[in-house]
Structure 1
């Protein structure tokens, strides 16, 4: 078989080739030898001498395909409308397969003759040829499909559409239909244009999809109206979900995948979006009664609808907020901090689980939970008063971390402290919490009341993760001081043992604390004359400390000290831990023979304690019945040592007044927070202005609020006052010829 170009008798060759073409298009049996010969005939026609006959072959093939499809059209139409879809589908399956084989038979014509004349993808996308697409030559397989579209689908399109819609309606009504036929006919609208580079779905969308969506919308509009009349909201939602699932399954049975979401969207619009007012009207009752099944259905229906979840989300937020506020308002009794934290954690835990199970942890609903919890936790019964939540949380943590918290395991303690961070993150006034927490931590460390130093450090690390190193810097320094003080005590013990003349006569240990790290006021400390029994210990420690650390000044804070005294004057021996001031008063009864009664003026003269402080210390000794006095304490009062004192415990403790929080201390803490806030805001303003140089008033306020939000929410009035203060200090100035712009003064 020669490949050399030669003269070819076209009529004779075409007659032979046509028989094979008919067999191929009708999927008839074609012998391999015949196929090979016909493939060679196509090649010979394309390379014929003296002139290639490819164009003539193309035209003859086109004429054959048109005649063949026209005959098929008559065959389909002749069988009546009842069998039209089935016959169309049968002929299409045969024809589409045959056109595929025919395209292979004409492979050489396609590659050497047709493709060279086709417009390229670049020309299609960007232009370049003013060619009418209808005049463009198609590969033989494409030509066969185009012929089917023009001569079969176009004449039958109305009938096909109506019959398909009827079949779909039957399926919706529960009647059986031939899924294979319907799916095949619909897919033929796609397959017949698959070869197109652009707009390959145009026929499918225009001929079938658009009318189908319109019909679907009408059907479900009527269905929704019927269901709404027959059922309540709960049942309506169940029916709608069922119908959506059924229609989605139906789409996958019959339609092209590109239509799945469009059909679902149309159904949702008709049955959900068109009835939003009805559904939204039921949200409040469902949320307040926490009907989980109904809420799950409501969420799944409203989620795909634009702006559909807004009302449901707001109702959820309002309900959680109301529940939280009820829990906060009902606090009473002794353990208010514990009630506050545990009730808020219970609310948070309950609705976190609800949002995860019902709303699938949707971030919008998680945000609603956060807003609601923040509103409840930061609630103020009186807007003019400070919110107490930060203080209550700090007291709750203090209660957990004190040795007095009994019956709690390390694991349980760790879990409770971790839960505290959940409440802490919602606090607006994190700086208030820091103040109270640091003051309570200081007392726990000074009086050795911490249940576990590991738990203390773990809590501080959690706070650092939540707010950063700056937030816990001073808390870390307090721990450092405790460690350094332990080393100092060991060195001081070695110092006293080196020389017998340094013997103190008492067990003596100290804490050396950095003034800047500890929240202890050094001003207004009560004066106190140290008892003679302790003067040597203090003097020796100062000698030791100044020898090791030159240039440092020690300020003794006797009000924070504890001492253990041994009572030998009673029938039983008692070991009593008390404050230094208590010790100073009781040692006066030991200053001479049989001193059992002392006057207020005598005690004040020898202790040098201020009258108010002395009254407080005496009262605590009277309350514990160690000394006796009738009536109110006055400067003329006398006090007797209670020689009949009796206690079941031989070791006990008298709590120093400084260990108990007074209203004045709480007020001072809030005042200190206000001062810190002013300094923080001023520093933020300077940082911002130093970077920006010139800034409008409103933009400056926004940036200050943004920077401060992690610690507290500054009021606009506070920011304005801080701006005025910085202008007075000449850090800022108002820009000339403007009323709302500031410049940084370098």
Structure 2
């Protein structure tokens, strides 16, 4: 076959081509050779001399398609009512398949003749003129679909819609319908315009979807009213969920995917959103009784509705808050810290699981849990008194980390410390916890009460992850001091070996940095060390001053412990006690009875401290004395003392927590807060230069909330203090605006 253009008899060629075109559009049998020849005929007509005949070929094909579709329309119309959809779908399936083959047959006409005359996408989208799509030529496949739309769908659309809606309604009532036919008819509204770049679903939406959604809404409005009258709220929710699932499945059987969400939304609006008051009215009871299945159903229904979950979230928060308050409000007995932490953890664990299972870890409910737990944990039994939670949590951690903690494996301890962090994160006053924790850590380290240094470091690392390095900086330095002190002890032992001095006793020390340890250096009790220890103290000072020049040692005798061997009884005992108690007992080396005044003169202890230390020895039955201790009292050794243990400990009074210590901790926290707030104000003003009073307070609160909830009155006092120190000044134009003084 020659590709050269030549004269072509259109009528003769078209009559031959028409036979094949008719066979293709009806999906008839066309031989391969015939198919190839017709390709050649289309090409020959498009390049014919002297004038190409593509335009005439296009119009003749268009006329054929119109006549063909009209004949099919007549067949559909002539079918009876029951078979109309089936006949329509059968002809459409054949026609749509044939039109795609026809488009291939006319490939050359499409590419060389029609495409050149079509407007480009850019013209349609961005051209500065209005384009009527009916004015431009369509590719043959597109033309076939457009012809079906004009001569089949347009005249039949109302009739088709009625029949489709009847079939879907029949399916809703569990009657058998032909899924293939119904789906084919509905998707034909989409397929006939699939070639369109703009709004390819326009026909589907106009002819079918809008009316279907209206019909669906009416149906489910009626269904909802009927169910509401017949059922309880629990039953109503179960049936609505079932109907939503059925309608979603129905959509996937019959409709185009673009309709799935719209149908579900319409059903939700009619069956859930229109009855929010009814559903919300049952929320409180369901939450309080914790009807998990009902709550899960309620969540499933309310989640997609705008604002639907707000009341349920609020009720869940109130319920968790109530449970949390009951857990922490009336704690009594000796083990309050453990009761507090474990009760709160039980509440948190229970409702974390509930939210995970029932509400699928929805962030709104997780937030409600956090708010409720924070309210319960930071509850104050007396609004004028500080919250006790930081102190109780610190004591709980102290009990876990002490040597006396029994029966906890390393894994269990790790889990319990992790649980402590869960409670810690909810504390408003994290700085108060830090103060209590550091004081208790200091006692554990100094008195050798730590069960595991690894566990101590693990807890500090957990705190660092929760609050940052600054929060745990001093705690890390305390550990560093313990390590350095061990090295110093070794160096001191070597120093003694090299010199001529013999101490005559075992002497070990801890050298602690004043800034890192929460040990008040003011108001240290006066104490004259026993003669037996003077050589040890002076030798260590000599060693330390030689090693470090310019450093000052402050001896904290109240924190010291000593081991004494009691040799005056039937069997010897080794007793661990405080240094003040040791000084008192050493006086009995010279005499079996000692007066109060002699002890006071010898030890230089204050009357209050003296009474406390003597009383602890009387309570331990080391000394015999039955009356109230006065300045005229005389004490004697209990020569009949006996103990099952040959090695025991008399708890030093300093190791027991006192109200004064708690008050000092609170005062220290207040001072720290003032310094923190002042530093925050300076940072903010240095960056902003000029700021209104209320904005400054908001920014300070924002910066401080990770450590504590700052008091507005304290912030105002700090601002005044910084004005006095000439860091800030009030602007001349406004009394509630500050400027930074560089």
Settle same-fold status: TM greater than 0.5. Answer: yes
Post-superposition shift, 1:102? 1.2
Cα distance in structure 2, aligned partners of 1:28 and 1:403 = 94
Residues 46 and 113, structure 2, Cα contact 8 Å, conserved in 1: yes
The equivalent of 1:60 in structure 2 is: 60
* SS of residue in 1 equivalent to 2:82: coil
Cα distance in structure 1, aligned partners of 2:498 and 2:299 = 79
* SS of residue in 1 equivalent to 2:739: strand
Cα distance in structure 2, aligned partners of 1:131 and 1:4 = 36
Cα distance in structure 2, aligned partners of 1:739 and 1:263 = 60
Pair 1:731 & 2:730 matched:
no
Which of these residues, 634, 642, 649, is aligned with residue 646 of structure 1?
642
The equivalent of 1:294 in structure 2 is: 294
The equivalent of 1:179 in structure 2 is: 179
* SS of residue in 2 equivalent to 1:42: helix
- Deviation string for 1:205-234 (max 9, x for gaps)? 010000000000000111111111111111
The equivalent of 2:692 in structure 1 is: 696
The equivalent of 1:304 in structure 2 is: 304
Equivalent positions of 1:77-88 (< 5 A) are: 77-88=77-88
Equivalent positions of 1:83-122 (< 5 A) are: 83-122=83-122
* SS of residue in 2 equivalent to 1:83: helix
Cα distance in structure 2, aligned partners of 1:189 and 1:58 = 25
Equivalent positions of 1:560-599 (< 5 A) are: 560-591=559-590, 595-599=591-595
Cα distance in structure 2, aligned partners of 1:205 and 1:477 = 72
Cα distance in structure 2, aligned partners of 1:119 and 1:656 = 98
The equivalent of 2:513 in structure 1 is: 514
Moved over 3 A (4+): 128-131
Post-superposition shift, 1:387? 0.3
Which of these residues, 606, 612, 615, is aligned with residue 611 of structure 2?
615
Post-superposition shift, 1:384? 1.3
Equivalent positions of 1:100-499 (< 5 A) are: 100-499=100-499
Cα distance in structure 2, aligned partners of 1:55 and 1:438 = 94
Residues 186 and 254, structure 2, Cα contact 8 Å, conserved in 1: yes
Post-superposition shift, 1:17? 1.6
Pair 1:533 & 2:529 matched:
no
* SS of residue in 2 equivalent to 1:577: strand
- Deviation string for 1:28-71 (max 9, x for gaps)? 11122222222211111111111111111111111111111111
Pair 1:543 & 2:542 matched:
yes
Cα distance in structure 2, aligned partners of 1:490 and 1:18 = 111
Cα distance in structure 1, aligned partners of 2:8 and 2:637 = 141
* SS of residue in 2 equivalent to 1:525: coil
Moved more, 299-308 or 434-443: 299-308
What is the TM-score of this pair, normalised by structure 2?
A: 0.99
Post-superposition shift, 1:637? 2.0
The equivalent of 1:559 in structure 2 is: 558
Post-superposition shift, 1:631? 2.4
> How many residues are aligned here?
742
* SS of residue in 2 equivalent to 1:578: strand
Change (3 A) 1:324 1:66: same
Change (3 A) 1:304 1:130: closer
Cα distance in structure 2, aligned partners of 1:274 and 1:357 = 27
Post-superposition shift, 1:650? 1.7
The equivalent of 1:48 in structure 2 is: 48
Cα distance in structure 2, aligned partners of 1:130 and 1:712 = 66
Pair 1:657 & 2:653 matched:
yes
Cα distance in structure 2, aligned partners of 1:645 and 1:390 = 42
- Deviation string for 1:668-690 (max 9, x for gaps)? 10111011101100000001111
Residues 251 and 259, structure 2, Cα contact 8 Å, conserved in 1: yes
Moved more, 620-629 or 466-475: 620-629
Post-superposition shift, 1:285? 1.2
- Deviation string for 1:55-94 (max 9, x for gaps)? 1111111111111111111111111222111111111111
The equivalent of 2:679 in structure 1 is: 683
Change (3 A) 1:465 1:40: same
Cα distance in structure 2, aligned partners of 1:328 and 1:629 = 43
- Deviation string for 1:384-439 (max 9, x for gaps)? 11000000000001111111112222221221111111111111110000000000
* SS of residue in 2 equivalent to 1:589: helix
What is the TM-score of this pair, normalised by structure 1?
A: 0.98
Cα distance in structure 2, aligned partners of 1:443 and 1:412 = 24
- Deviation string for 1:285-341 (max 9, x for gaps)? 111111111111111111111111111111111111111100001311000000000
Cα distance in structure 1, aligned partners of 2:312 and 2:243 = 23
Q: Which runs of 5 or more structure 1 residues have no equivalent in the other structure?
A: none
Which of these residues, 680, 693, 706, is aligned with residue 710 of structure 1?
706
Cα distance in structure 2, aligned partners of 1:4 and 1:273 = 71
Cα distance in structure 2, aligned partners of 1:101 and 1:607 = 114
Which of these residues, 589, 598, 601, is aligned with residue 605 of structure 1?
601
- Deviation string for 1:456-477 (max 9, x for gaps)? 1111111111111111111111
Cα distance in structure 2, aligned partners of 1:23 and 1:587 = 124
Post-superposition shift, 1:731? 0.4
Post-superposition shift, 1:138? 0.6
Post-superposition shift, 1:521? 0.5
Equivalent positions of 1:618-633 (< 5 A) are: 618-633=614-629
Post-superposition shift, 1:236? 1.0
Residues 124 and 131, structure 2, Cα contact 8 Å, conserved in 1: no
Cα distance in structure 2, aligned partners of 1:368 and 1:128 = 55
Post-superposition shift, 1:129? 4.2
Q: Which runs of 5 or more structure 2 residues have no equivalent in the other structure?
A: none
Change (3 A) 1:131 1:653: closer
Cα distance in structure 1, aligned partners of 2:656 and 2:130 = 95
Cα distance in structure 1, aligned partners of 2:579 and 2:710 = 42
